[in-house]
Structure 1
Amino acid sequence: MTGQLEAEPYYGRGAASTYREITQQPAVWREVAGMLSARSAEVAAFLEPLLARPDLRIMLSGAGTSAFAGEVLRPALERSLGRRVDAVATTDIVSNPRDVFAEDVPTLLVSFARSGDSPESVAATRLAQQCLGPVHQLILTCNPDGQLAREHAGSSSSLVLLMPPTANDRGFAMTSSFTSMLLAAWLVLSPAPDRADLAERLAAAAEQVLGEADLLADLAARGYDRVVYLGSGPLGGLARESALKLLELTAGEVVSYYDTALGFRHGPKAVLRERTLVVVYLSNDVYTRRYDEDIAEELRAAIGSENVLVVGAQERDSAADAGVWRIRGLDEVSDAALAMPLAIIAQLLALQFSLERGRTPDNPFPDGEVNRVVQGVTIYPLPA
């Protein structure tokens, strides 16, 4: 598995922005760590008093890919913080605020938003203020000019963390914006080790993935028309994001599905067909990983090893370890951190499938059926 994908083939095929935004992620992550280091005192002054409250509810929110950042982080943060953490999409907050905010407790609402201009992004933060008493807001966004960033700038109950300018993806799909916000949230909310060290390890792992990416071009060229992503715990959220990335960049031409290792057998396994590729993400948790390995072995026997891509970080001397794409140097990190270089695999695979199908990844919907920033949403006032 050696061979960096060269840039030239992606220019002139409507993929220049998407290719650049995928491959720039190691550099962006290093910038994120530097930004957080420069603002460490400000971040600590805002978050430490909140995290010291045993009754604090942490809610992670966003729409689409931004919501899946919360799904990746939720179980990992609950484990590392030993406290309640919820992941609720802004689309659910806006449509059902009284259900989501039924419990009026001290809340930290963490909003993920690439542009900050999606109608639900701002509406969710306003509804939190309307429905809850004590609420603080942590805004992670890539657009300093977005409505979300502007509305919360200068508020004593809000902290806005802007990602590096290059993280504000110009391509249709969220790639570096997703992982940069994910990394920033993990570094500031979890009792993680040294930020710069972890970010450097993740960047080095991402560079390894990019250097071995020819494998993904080979897979995309095989003519699969269905791809299934499986992951457990935090990697379940990544599986969902991976499926969306493929669906977006192929404009729905390739059917994608996601599930957990154990959940897949309970009916969803019916999605398997002759031209199906399955990607299994192996957890770093030794106990959880056993279930991931079991489904990988079962699928290898059912549809052939050549149709099952298994990716993990742990070094193990076992039969189940044969044929695993090894991500080096991350065998002891949380699955939330491991999800970041794994996300690059999903992004590259979606890019390759899109090109194989003759699509233009930077704008897979040239007729505007689906928009980069969601349009057409009416936000209704919530009656008192």
Structure 2
Amino acid sequence: MRYLDRTVDWLAAHGASHTAREISQQPRLWRELGGSLTAQEPDWAPWLHAILKTPQLRILLCGAGTSAFAGRALAPLLRERTGRRVEAVATTDIVANPRAWLDPRLPTLLVSFARSGNSPESVAAVELADQLLPDCHHLVLTCNPDGALAQRALRGERTYAVLMPDGANDQSFAMTSSFSCMYLAALALLGGYPLAEVRSRTEAVAALCEARLAQWPHLARDLADRGLRRVVYLGSGSLAGLAEEAALKLLELSAGHLATRFDTPLGVRHGPKFMIDRDTCVVMFLSSQPYVRRYDDDFHAELLRDGIARRVIALRPDGDDALSAPLADADDLWLALPYLLFAQLLAFECSLAQGLTPDNPCPTGEVNRVVQGVTIHPWGARP
């Protein structure tokens, strides 16, 4: 058996087995997730739809690190699609300054993205919301049925947990299939799509990603072998949140050996463009929205004209070459999934090119799979 065009023996010898398998399994898990959401619809739909009818409802998409970026990649287009008040706030921000983010005047649905459900900030954010918000419900999207947040849902009337498919609880250091499954679950539950349409779109994106899994590993390996020192990810709107996740993935799997940055095609001109030099690869996530795409194309043309970057990779929803991700009638919410896959593959190959073990790029333990060393202080405590 092979994953990402490498044998299982080779991957095991290079400490890459979990990461390679977890990247490769995503299309299958997305299909399984669609099936489980359909089977469980009689349970979650009445609970969730009753909450979504609440006047002035505020929806907070929360998580720490990669889990926070799932919310940031969803919030802009969920607001646009549904007309609801949808905001993405990291649990690390809520815990550090809860009054700045939790508004007791508004009924709130706090959506927790949590691979393990045991991150101290994620648990603390839920507890703070219950302390400070008189009308708060919780939707927990998690990969771990035994985690603190999943177990909490079993005891609370105002909490519902949706479990990701078996296998989504990544064993590798970096979140890959856990991120995409939780992202897709939130899209299905909150995106305003009929569930049958979710299943149809999921099948289309899964089939596309399976095809790209046969092509993109070679492209990613070629980029990683070029001696890059910096990678800049650019995207607009929801794709800006995806760019943030892509930059973190590469930073994690390269153990900080590669400098990474995310920005928007408009924002990067305002100073951060200095980061782009002969040792830099720029990866652009081009939008499917015609108006947004004009700004994407303008900066793409500027980069090619400047000629200062080592490589410029423009992933796009149109075309028939290796960098395209054509999905019929797809908006950026769905386009994010193949773009994400490319970013994961590049991070994986860069990790190997740096001589690291992708399953655990920090074996000395300064950075951990589930964050450690955080002291949660009681609300109202004084120094």
TM tier relative to shorter chain = over 0.9
Task: Give per-residue Cα distances to partners, 1:10-59, cap 9 Å, x unaligned.
Answer: 23101010000000000010011011001112121111111122310000
Quote the residue 1:80 is aligned against.
81
Deviation string 1:288-309 (CA, Å, 9 cap, x unpaired) is 0111111111111223686100
Whether 1:360 and 2:364 are equivalent positions in the alignment is no
Q: Which moved more, 1:14-23 or 1:211-220?
A: 211-220
Structure-2 residue corresponding to 1:112: 113
CA shift for structure 1 position 154: 4.0
300-309 or 193-202: bigger deviation = 300-309
Distance change >3 Å, CA 82–CA 357, structure 1 → 2: same
Q: Which moved more, 1:177-186 or 1:332-341?
A: 332-341
* 1:280-299 → structure 2 map (5 Å cutoff): 280-299=284-303
The TM-score, its normalising length taken from structure 2, stands at: 0.95
Q: Where does residue 130 of structure 2 map in the other structure?
A: 129
Structure 1's 305 and 209: CA in aligned 2 closer, same or farther, altered over 3 A?
farther
After superposing the two structures, state which structure 1 stretch, 199-208 or 167-176, moved more: 199-208
Letter in 2 for 1:189: L
Unmatched 5+ residue regions in structure 2? none
CA distance in 2, matches of 1:254, 1:169: 23
The secondary structure found in structure 2 opposite 1:11 is helix
- 1:166-222 deviations in Å (ceiling 9; x for gaps): 000000000000000000000011112422111111111211221112111111111
- State the 1:79 CA deviation: 0.6
What corresponds to 1:176 in structure 2? 177
Stretches (4+) displaced over 6 A: none
SS in 2 for 1:350: helix
Does 1:265 find its partner at 2:269? yes
Residue 201 of structure 2 is matched in structure 1 by 198
Counterpart residue type for residue 293 of structure 1:
D
Amino acid at match of 1:170: Q
**Partner in structure 2 of residue 6 of structure 1:** 6
| Secondary structure of 2:113's aligned partner | strand
Which of 277, 280, 296 aligns to 1:276? It is: 280
Distance 2:25 2:300 in 1: 31
Kept in 1, the 8 Å contact 2:215–2:322? The answer is no
1:98 aligns with 2:102: no
Distance in 1 (alpha carbons) for counterparts of 2:4 and 2:64? 32
Worse-superposed segment, 67-76 or 338-347: 338-347
Q: Which residue in 2 is equivalent to 1:350?
A: 347
Call closer, same or farther: CA 1:278–1:331 in 2, change over 3 Å: farther
Q: Is the 8 A contact 1:107 1:134 kept in 2?
A: yes
SS in 2 for 1:211: coil
Shift of 1:312: 1.2
* Deviation at residue 334 of structure 1 after TM alignment: 2.3
Displacement, 1:324? 7.4
How big is the shift at 1:340? 1.3
Tell me, in whole angstroms, the C-alpha distance in 2 between the residues paired with 1:364 and 1:305.
27
Whether the aligned pair in 2 keeps the contact of 1:43 and 1:188 (CA below 8 Å) is no
Residue 45 of structure 2: SS of its match in structure 1? helix
Q: Is the 8 A contact 2:143 2:163 kept in 1?
A: yes
Q: How many residues align?
A: 375
Structure 1 equivalent of residue 254 of structure 2: 250
Match of 2:27 in 1: 26
Q: CA offset at residue 102 of structure 1?
A: 3.2
Q: How does 1:225-236 map to 2 (within 5 A)?
A: 225-236=229-240
Q: Aligned equivalents of 1:59 and 1:363: distance in 2?
A: 31
Q: Distance in 1 between matches of 2:354 and 2:310?
A: 21
Q: Which residue identity is paired with 2:6?
A: E
1:324-347 superposed Cα distances (whole Å, 9 cap, x missing partner):
71112x142221221112111000
- Using the size of structure 1 for normalisation, the TM-score is 0.94
Mapped partners of 1:307, 1:36: distance in 2:
41
Does structure 2 retain, via aligned residues, the 8 Å contact 1:63–1:89? yes
Q: Counterparts of 1:210-229 in structure 2 under 5 Å?
A: 210-213=213-216, 214-229=218-233
Contact 1:310 1:324 in 2 (8 A): no
- 1:311 paired with 2:315, answer yes
Partner of residue 341 from structure 1, selected from 338, 344, 348:
338
Partners of 1:104 and 1:377 lie apart in 2 by 30
Contact 1:245 1:350 in 2 (8 A): yes
User: Equivalents in 2 of 1:364, 1:353: separation in Å?
Assistant: 11
Note if contact 1:314-1:331 (Cα within 8 Å) is conserved in structure 2: no
Cα distance in 2 between the residues matched to 1:198 and 1:223: 37
Letter in 1 for 2:359: D
Corresponding position of 2:189: 188
- Cα deviation for residue 314 of structure 1 reads 2.8
Deviates more, 1:358-367 or 1:332-341: 332-341
| Pairwise CA distance, 1:272 | 1.1
CA offset at residue 103 of structure 1? 4.3
CA distance in 1, matches of 2:353, 2:130: 47
Q: Which amino acid aligns with 2:221?
A: A
Identity among equivalent positions (%) equals: 51
